[in-house]
Structure 1
Amino acid sequence: MYCYSRSSSLFLLSFIILLHNVIAADPLYNICSISGNYTAGDTFSSNLDQLMFILATKGPPTGFALGTVGVSLNRVNGLALCRGDVKASSCGTCIRNAGTEIRELCPLKKSSIIWFDNCLLRYSSLEFFGEIDNSNKFYMWNVQNVSDAVAFNDKVTGLLSKLAKEAYVAPSLFATGEKAIGELGKLYGLVQCTRDLSGGDCKKCLDTAISELPSCCDGKRGGRVVGGSCNFRYELYPFYDV
């Protein structure tokens, strides 16, 4: 069982969900803008359709895509990122699903973001490329605890910090790794940033996310901090494919 929590400067929303029936095709979470709507069939709607096609076409070969369609009030900017270990075919499927789901879950909204296990997709009428997104973020954690939370947290922080140092100098802004931790076996970690960020901003984003570990996942056997610009995940079992 996992818990989810929305992290926001305005509010905190918590709920519990059973994950053993969840597959990669299901959204992890989505956030719809609270202001700014378009009308079905208008120019913005048409531009959004074009943007979704662009992201689904450009994203799979490299795992990342940016796109902008339209001008002035009808301009829409978008970003798609696939997890760094996901194959191109699975990446394309995820981005296409995200483009469909986000318009069903956030109908007629001018800004929205959706996360899947294999990808994230974000669009907005506002410019956001190259900026760290601190507003769209949520936590996930395993409800099972370890026996020594302090020692375990230190090991998790150590591994994630090491991976952050590797990721921000890598062209993919992505890193995975593992660490032997005694009787619990091995600890596995993954960190990733959206590739519109500079290396320095990627490191800053990941450092902030890792600093939220006590709020997210204190002593938990697995956890994630997932944002619009970066994310981390750790588990006591292998979950990535590299």
Structure 2
Amino acid sequence: MSSSSISKSIFLVLNLAVVAIQAFLIHSVSSMNKTNAYLYHTCSETEGKYKPKSPYEGNFNFLISDMSKDTFVRGFVYSYHGDDPNTVYILLQCRGDSYGSKCGSCLTTATSELRRRCPMSKAGIVWFDKCLLKISPTAFFEKIDYKNKFYMYSTKKVSDPGSFNAKTKALLTELAAKATRRSDKLLLYEKGEMNLGKMKLYGMVQCTRNLWFTVCKTCLDKIIGELPNCCNGKEGGRVVSGSCNFRYEIYPFLDTVQ
């Protein structure tokens, strides 16, 4: 079989899988990266398209410009602009270690990629390693987005998957509890580590901050419950949705300098 035929076959299988499970992608790639790499995107067909120079595009451009003026000290924006039927809702959530200028840089990259990958789409979401950007003509405050979700995992397996899965779940569950503990500075983000003999397990959990802490806990419990289905015995992995995500690795993957 030629390389061209193989490529077409792989594309067809992935395309059919996405259609069959409504944009739920199981993405088998190495989770090892410390860059702000592009991860995935979805473009909503049901919400339709907007026309060039339309009020919807104008409202979208206004929000991006307004967000760009922010220093992103807290790494999060949920906002809207315009009147029905051209109201645009937008969310930017940066990873917990990527606030300040890193968040602003991620917004610029995410905006460019969302326009390129979902041209003129009224609704879409794009994920990068350090942020996500979502737009919609419908409000989604306090609404969990389970529909837009995907897996990523390492190609390497541990020697004792059962024990490793249990310890990974224990760490992520602990982090979820800490991230959703009610406080004056509710960031809905937590990182931590666990000793595993001669190595360490590193993990993080995070929700978009348009969710209340109890709703965030529900979201995190749901995706953590997908272990080991997503990443059975893999050295690293993550489940990423439009509202919450987790990641674990056997090496440090978060930035230590803001």
Q: TM-score, normalised by structure 1?
A: 0.91
Displacement of 1:13 in angstroms is: 4.3
Displacement of 1:56 in angstroms is: 3.0
| C-alpha spacing 1:143/1:6, structure 2 compared with 1 (3 Å) | farther
Displacement of 1:59 in angstroms is: 6.3
Instruction: Return the letter of the residue paired with 1:123.
Output: I
The one of 160, 165, 170 aligned to 2:172: 160
Instruction: Return the letter of the residue paired with 2:193.
Output: E
Local SS of the residue matching 1:95: helix
> Deviation digits for residues 56-111 of structure 1, max 9, x if unmatched?
33461210011101111111100001111114011100011111110111001000
Give the corresponding residue for 1:231: 245
| C-alpha spacing 1:106/1:219, structure 2 compared with 1 (3 Å) | same
The one of 211, 214, 229 aligned to 1:200: 214
1:174 aligns with 2:213: no
The one of 45, 54, 61 aligned to 1:34: 45
User: CA contact under 8 A between 2:30 and 2:154: conserved in structure 1?
Assistant: no
Aligned residues: 237
User: CA contact under 8 A between 1:6 and 1:139: conserved in structure 2?
Assistant: no
Which one has a larger percent strand, Structure 1 or Structure 2?
A: 1
Local SS of the residue matching 2:72: helix
What are the residue-to-residue correspondences of 1:141-152 with 2, within 5 Å?
141-152=153-164
| Larger radius of gyration between Structure 1 and Structure 2 | 2
Unaligned segments of structure 1, at least 5 residues:
none
Q: CA RMSD in A?
A: 2.2
1:17, 1:117 → 2: CA distance?
Answer: 14
2:85, 2:243 → 1: CA distance?
Answer: 25
1:199, 1:19 → 2: CA distance?
Answer: 28
Unaligned segments of structure 2, at least 5 residues:
1-13
Displacement of 1:193 in angstroms is: 0.5
2:29, 2:144 → 1: CA distance?
Answer: 28
Q: TM-score, normalised by structure 2?
A: 0.86
User: CA contact under 8 A between 2:96 and 2:206: conserved in structure 1?
Assistant: yes
Local SS of the residue matching 2:206: strand
User: CA contact under 8 A between 1:178 and 1:188: conserved in structure 2?
Assistant: yes
Displacement of 1:241 in angstroms is: 2.8
Local SS of the residue matching 1:85: coil
Give the corresponding residue for 2:92: 80
> Deviation digits for residues 195-214 of structure 1, max 9, x if unmatched?
11011001100000100122
2:59, 2:250 → 1: CA distance?
Answer: 43
